[in-house]
Amino acid sequence: MLTGSLVLLAMGLAQGVWQVPIPRLCYLAVIGSFLTWAFYRTWQKERSAFEAVTSAKTTEVEALGNRKDDEIAALRVQKDNEIAALNERITELSRRPYSEEKRRIAEQVLDNVMTLEGRRLLHHLMINEHVEVGRAFLPEIPDVRRAEQLGLAKQHGIVQHWENPPRSRITYWIINPQFRPVLEDVLYEGGRL
């Protein structure tokens, strides 16, 4: 823009001082070309400033996107680990559909509380589903010991009384359904029978 001003000054001096005739069209051409050049330079500066701001915002958005991608990846890994743990638990439950606490209780009762006769009574209940209370089964085991052993098993929740139909006068000894899968594993392992 300074160059355009100097050219116009020189043209004015040439016309005024030296009396050189310069047509108006030349003045208009010089003014038009230098205004065009000034507008172009202004546009170019604004464009480069806009590109710099856009580039900074794009970089910021990409950084934010990368951070979010990292957060998403971390969340995905966490969820995959949770799913793997649940799948492992499902596999464990398919092999042993009971808790370790129930297994510990059953092992403790079978090993420390009940005798071999009591374990044989439980084995008989496992096979025959239910036996009427007071009925003599396994005649080689005296009634007193049978009642004592089944009472101990009932006290620990392994067996229970069952009435069919409810409020009838007939009561049966049955294996507690929660302990049946445990007993299917524990009763027959380790030479307990």
Residues 32-63 have pLDDT tens digits of 888 888 889 999 999 998 888 888 888 877 77
Per CATH, the number for 100-186 is 1.10.10.10
Q: How far apart are CA 188 and CA 178, in angstroms?
A: 17
Q: Specify the pLDDT at position 136.
A: 80
On whether the CB atoms of residues 158 and 178 are closer than 8 A, the answer is no
Q: Specify the pLDDT at position 78.
A: 92
- Tell whether omega for the bond before 165 is within 30 degrees of 0, i.e. cis: yes
Minimum mean pLDDT range among 56-70, 144-158, 168-182: 56-70
Mean pLDDT rounded to a whole number for the chain: 84
* Mean predicted confidence (pLDDT) in 170-175: 88
Does residue 192 surpass a pLDDT of 80? no
Q: How far apart are CA 28 and CA 13, in angstroms?
A: 16
Q: Specify the pLDDT at position 57.
A: 81
* Mean predicted confidence (pLDDT) in 25-38: 84
pTM of the full structure: 0.52
Q: How far apart are CA 34 and CA 13, in angstroms?
A: 19
Closest by Cα among 126, 143, 98, 142 to 193: 126
